[in-house]
Amino acid sequence: MTSVTDRQKLQYIAAQAADARVNVELETEGMTLNLGPQHPATHGTLRIIAQLDGEQVVHAEPVAGYMHRGYEKLTEVRTYPQITTLINRIDWLGSFANEVPFILAAEQLMEVEAPERAMWIRTILFELSRISNLILFLGDMGVQLGAVTPVFFAFRDREFVLDQIEAATGGRFHPNFDRIGGLRDDLPKGWLESTKGSMDKVRDFCDQIEDLLLGSEIFQTRTRGIGIVPTDVAMQYGLSGPNARASGIDWDVRRDNCIGLAYPELDWKVWTHTDGDSFARFWVRIQEVREAAKMVDQLCDGLPAGPVMAKVPRIIKVPAGEAYVATENPLGEMGYYIVSEGDLTPFRVKIRSASFSNMSITPWLLRGVYVPDIITILGSLYFILGDIDR
Amino acid sequence: MGLGLVESGKMPKSLIKLLNVSRSYSVWVYQWGLACCAIEMGAAFGAPRYDVMRLGVIPLPASPRQADLVVISGTVTDKMAPVIRRLWEQMPDPKYVISMGSCANCGGPYWDSYSVTKGVDQIIPVDVYVPGCPPRPEALLEGIVILQDRIKNEDPSKRWVGEPIVVE
């Protein structure tokens, strides 16, 4: 873990004093700017009410709830196999990643263990959904800065990954492929080779984005030193995933608290950045896509043989008890706390989704920034509204 | 060509046909992306593989006041419903609505949720429903083609109801 740099401290103090300072220096009239609830930069329907003083934000308040669909209540009236259909749609860009922690928690309660091959295929699909999620972020970050071309590249190369997910599971977006005790099906013939081919395309895309955006002077001016989250603040707000790693927190659930999945057997690296600004968040994610592509290659090479489904009863009743399992989703740490009373449906499910904590830092982070930087900061924090509101 | 002539219904038939063909191949569509379907809509409208512009549809108007068609894609919640109604009121006549995905059609997987509006047609009239959860981009393109066929064969005077644009 790294210490806070002097620049970060200065930014912190400046942000704290912004409202008082601006008012004393210049008598400007306040203005309220309403962003959303439908705005391209918010990745959905987040509304931000910003109090401005000139070009600077004095106070910004996020209004969530425009996409609240009542997940936690709905899970109480659905059986366990039906719930995976629902929770696919929490973070709609990386759907398969939402199923895995829930299934792992249910398996823990039922004391069922999925076969090794099923765990490896789960890990492959998990990483594919991470790639399909983060690729769109990498393209979209260009749009936040006024460069439209990267998002076309992102959509183009994302289709190759979606083709692989569709070939294996039958669904482009919402696979609903995970079952308690394993997977619905085995992989189709020739899938592993074509997946490795699509990973080459993903790596090419990362190189292209690096050439297009990361090295661009405009991009660096707009992102370096903007929206700095110091390490201690990131921990206080409960940031997780790439946002936390961009602030220098060396924590990854895949490496540090891996349950079931095949990550310990792979050769990969957790990337961190010490700056904590928008640029760092972008940089960490681009490295993460590369690592994911590397992991998928290794998983395809070493996939063990065997069955993909353990023996489970036809009608799934989960014995009474409580379990919490978290995994490292594309957006951060996502976990399900299941309380079961031995019925067909859970008694209570608490969903810990990454975006909610990541979004909660926006009032602190947007204080004192300029209006155009709101968009880049929101874009680089990268939340998905389904994941916030549930 | 004054709009008064169209509204009165006294236009010659050949002119109506010309007007309809021109309208059907210059639909400006406003993207109202709400949930998962928004990404498939983005893939249909903004991606190279399914390129909607070859159908004569322009997906990037800056405001609903410039749009002919709005695609409501995704889950409509009760909190969002008044906003959608206001969006529809801001669009100029003639206006069309495509409801994309099961959630916007009827509530979809959230049919028993306390916070989801079961169907956007409770708030605004819908011309074409695109089923699926989420529909593939091809399905949305087919919905647009169906709408274009309808525009070609309709009586435009019925579409100019002359409701004023509501600005509060």
pLDDT in tens, A49-60: 888 887 888 888
The minimum CA-CA distance between A378 and chain B, rounded to whole Å, is: 17
Per residue in A55-74, pLDDT tens?
888 888 888 888 888 888 88
pLDDT at A363 over 70: yes
pLDDT at A4 over 70: no
What is the rounded distance in angstroms from the CA atom of residue A211 to the CA atom of residue A251? 29
Tokens of A288: 């993460």
Range A218-232 burial, b when 16+ CB lie within 10 A, else e? ebeebbebbbbbbbe
The whole-chain average pLDDT of chain A stands at: 85
Q: Which of A278, A142, A300, A301 is nearest to A208 (CA)?
A: A142
What is the rounded distance in angstroms from the CA atom of residue B38 to the CA atom of residue B31? 8
Cβ contacts from A onto B, under 8 A: 82
pLDDT at B1: 43
**Confidence label for A382 from pLDDT (cuts 50, 70 and 90):** confident
DSSP letters, B59-126, are: ---SSGGG-SEEEEESPPBTTTHHHHHHHHHHSPSS-EEEEESHHHHH-GGGTT-SSB-S-GGGTS--
pLDDT at A131: 92
pLDDT at A228 over 70: yes
DSSP letters, A240-274, are: -THHHHHTT----HHHHS--SSSGGGS-------S
Q: Which residue has the higher pLDDT, A54 or A345?
A: A345
| Contact between chains at A155 and B33 (C-beta distance less than 8 A) | no
- Using CB atoms and an 8 Å cut-off, which of residues 218-247 of chain A contact chain B? none
3-state class (DSSP) for residue A48: strand
pLDDT at A2 over 70: no
| Contact between chains at B47 and A37 (C-beta distance less than 8 A) | no
Domain boundaries, chain A: 80-357
Phi-psi region of B144 (alpha: psi -120 to 50; beta: other; left: phi over 0): alpha
Q: Which of A106, A169, A44 is nearest to A313 (CA)?
A: A106
pLDDT at A337: 92
What is the rounded distance in angstroms from the CA atom of residue A202 to the CA atom of residue A292? 10
pLDDT at A386 over 50: yes
What is the rounded distance in angstroms from the CA atom of residue A28 to the CA atom of residue A54? 6
Task: Give pTM, 2 decimals.
Answer: 0.84
Q: Are A330 and A97 in contact (CB under 8 A)?
A: yes
The minimum CA-CA distance between B155 and chain A, rounded to whole Å, is: 33
pLDDT tens for chain B, 168 residues long, are 445 666 666 777 788 888 888 888 888 888 888 888 888 888 888 778 888 888 888 887 778 888 888 989 888 888 888 888 888 888 887 888 999 988 888 888 888 888 898 888 888 888 889 988 889 888 988 999 999 988 888 877 777 665 555 445
User: Lowest-pLDDT range, A32-36, A85-89, A311-315?
Assistant: A32-36
Place domain A80-357 in its CATH homologous superfamily: Cytochrome-c3 Hydrogenase, chain B (1.10.645.10)
What is the rounded distance in angstroms from the CA atom of residue A342 to the CA atom of residue A232? 42
The answer, for A34 touching chain B at a CB cutoff of 8 Å, is no
